[in-house]
Amino acid sequence: MAQVTEYDLCVIGGGAAGLVTAAGAAALGAKVILIERDKLGGDCLYTGCVPSKALIHSAQVAYGVKQASRAGLSAMLEPVDQTKVMARVAQVIQKIEPNDSPERFRELGVEVLLAQAQFIDDNTLTAGERTITARHFVIATGTRPAVPDIPGLDSVDFLTNETIFNVTDPIKHLIIIGSGPIACEMAQSFVRLGSKVSIISHSDLLSREDDDMSAVVKAQFEAENIDLHLGVDVELVIKADTGLAIQFDNGEHQMIEGSHLLMAIGRLPNIDNLGLEQAGVDVASGRLIVDKRLRTTNKHIFACGDVAGPYLFTHMAEHQAGIVLRNTLFRLPAKAQTTGIPWCTFTSPELARVGLSEEEARTQGIRHAVYCFPFAEIDRAITDDDTAGMAKIITTPRGKIIGACIVGPHAGELIAEYSLAMSAGLSVSALSKTIHLYPSLAQINRRVADIRLKASLTPFKLKVLKKLFGLRGGE
């Protein structure tokens, strides 16, 4: 007869959300079991954040060598050996991998079981030979690449973020279907590593962002000879002598050939084969139904991380894990944050945002003001020869920050100041009053805030100030 075990918390999925939840619960004294069908670490370690940023680093170094003359230096980049680059990516994963190993989590007090989990009723699941019950369950199974129904796609081998980092042979011509963050990061990385790259998409680059911000990235892509086919519909995929060919409609039927195809059009939640119906967990449009406390329709079963959405970021997974722990272990009605979430696309220049975009504020009918400042007027950006881009803030009429976007060098780091300001409910004046180190790129955050303060000094206010303090400028 199968063994029945009672746990305080049973976590399904060993990615970022599941690992943080399990480790946190064990540290607080809970009896925890973590079930993973493959290996711990999830998308972030093996197919997402870690390998992509390792690849981006190699690509950035290669690009820096090619641009050495701009710094008054002489350097020559030999043809890139992509096999060695991918070997380094694998080494980076191996270096970080022990942090997410089953052995480490067992030492933390988490029982780790490698098996497929499936609910058999609203409070019981099976995993391998085990039958498990728990006070609460947490679904943290992540997402997988979405694959569209394109005629002929099943006749060719194609890549996703789950397989592209396993390619060791040189990629001669990479065709990417999609224009979101994954597509853009991979496109720029591979073109800098010697591949020809084409992007085909029905939308523009980084379409969630304001046009003036994404246009900076688009201009850089064009400067690096990335072949862009935007606002088109893919019609057909066929085999070709070069590897494959894509036919798309841009007013006429055009076809391009390439050696490799990367599908990067979005993500789908991993909720198949979990027995959700038996557990009383409802799904709508292929996604879990969760409330603000991250509870599913079975109030003893929670979800966190990418599978819960709507933000598919590791830092959001960690936040949601904390919310789940408060609800399950301490029975506190904690709610997940859904606004003021920062994110960054790690292209060069980087594009980072927190809060509302200008377009979102406009379409939601929110009264707002917009202020911008270019990196071209920041001394540190000039010394670093990295002046493309700008910072933009969106405020209420009274100056409270409701959104910020930066496109430029180290935008992912610089956006943190706006995240803090928004979470603390600060106005623009707080940034303007803060002393920022000189020379640093962070000066741009104060300078854009100063623009707002200067704009608030209307001619009438200046006239009153001059009269009140006896100022004589303009006489």
The length of the chain in residues reads: 475
Whether the predicted pLDDT of 48 surpasses 60: yes
Calculate what percentage of the chain has a pLDDT beyond 70: 98
49-66 and 82-96 helices, crossing angle to 10°? 140
Mean pLDDT of the chain: 95
CA distance 458 to 475: 18
407, β-bridge pairs: 351, 390
The span from the CA of 151 to the CA of 160, in Å, is 18
Q: How far apart are CA 41 and CA 44, in angstroms?
A: 7
Nearest to 115 by CA among 46, 47, 33: 33
369, 403 Cβ separation under 8 angstroms: no
Q: Which of 264, 266, 345, 274 is nearest to 310 (CA)?
A: 266
In the predicted model, is pLDDT for residue 418 greater than 50?
yes
Q: What is the pLDDT of residues 291-343, one digit of tens each?
A: 999 999 999 999 999 999 999 999 999 999 999 999 999 999 999 999 999 99
Residue 207 CA to residue 214 CA, distance in Å, equals 8
Q: What is the pLDDT of residues 183-203, one digit of tens each?
A: 999 999 999 999 999 999 999
Average the pLDDT over 120-139 and give the result: 96
What are the tens digits of pLDDT across the range 337-374?
A: 999 999 999 999 999 999 999 999 999 999 999 999 99
Average pLDDT over residues 122-149: 96
Q: Parallel, antiparallel, or unpaired for β 283-284 and 267-269?
A: unpaired
Average pLDDT over residues 36-43: 93
For the cut 90, the answer to whether the pLDDT of residue 464 exceeds it is no
pLDDT of 3 higher than 60: no
pLDDT > 90 fraction of the chain, expressed in percent and rounded:
92
Strand segments, DSSP code E, in 324-424 are 343-345, 350-355, 369-374, 390-395, 401-408
Burial pattern 281-320, b for ≥16 Cβ within 10 A else e, equals beeeeebbebeebbbbbbeebbbbbbbbbebbbbebbbbb
DSSP-assigned beta bridge partners for residue 361: none
- Paired tokens of 102: 């089953």
Cα–Cα distance list, 246 to 7, 152, 239 (Å): 52, 9, 9
Nearest Cα residue to 272 out of 113, 117, 48, 44: 117
In three-state secondary structure terms, 380 is helix
The structure tokens listed for 322 are 């904390």
Distance CA 234, CA 236 (A): 6
Cα separation, 346 vs 113, in Å, equals 35
Give 31's contacts (C-beta < 8 A, 6+ positions apart): 6, 7, 8, 9
What's the confidence (pLDDT) of residue 251? 86
**Per-residue pLDDT, 1:** 43
**Domains, the chain, ranges and CATH?**
4-40+101-144+268-328 (3.50.50.60), 153-265 (3.50.50.60), 343-459 (3.30.390.30)
Q: How far is Cα 131 from Cα 214, in angstroms, rounded to an integer?
A: 50
Place 5 in a pLDDT band, splitting at 50, 70 and 90: low
Per-residue confidence at 460, pLDDT binned at 50, 70, 90?
Answer: confident
- The token pair at 417 is 């100041």
Q: What average pLDDT does range 98-107 have in this prediction? A: 96
Q: Strand order in 233-240's β-sheet? A: 233-240, 243-249, 253-258
Using CA atoms, how far apart are residues 200 and 234, in angstroms rounded to an integer?
Answer: 8
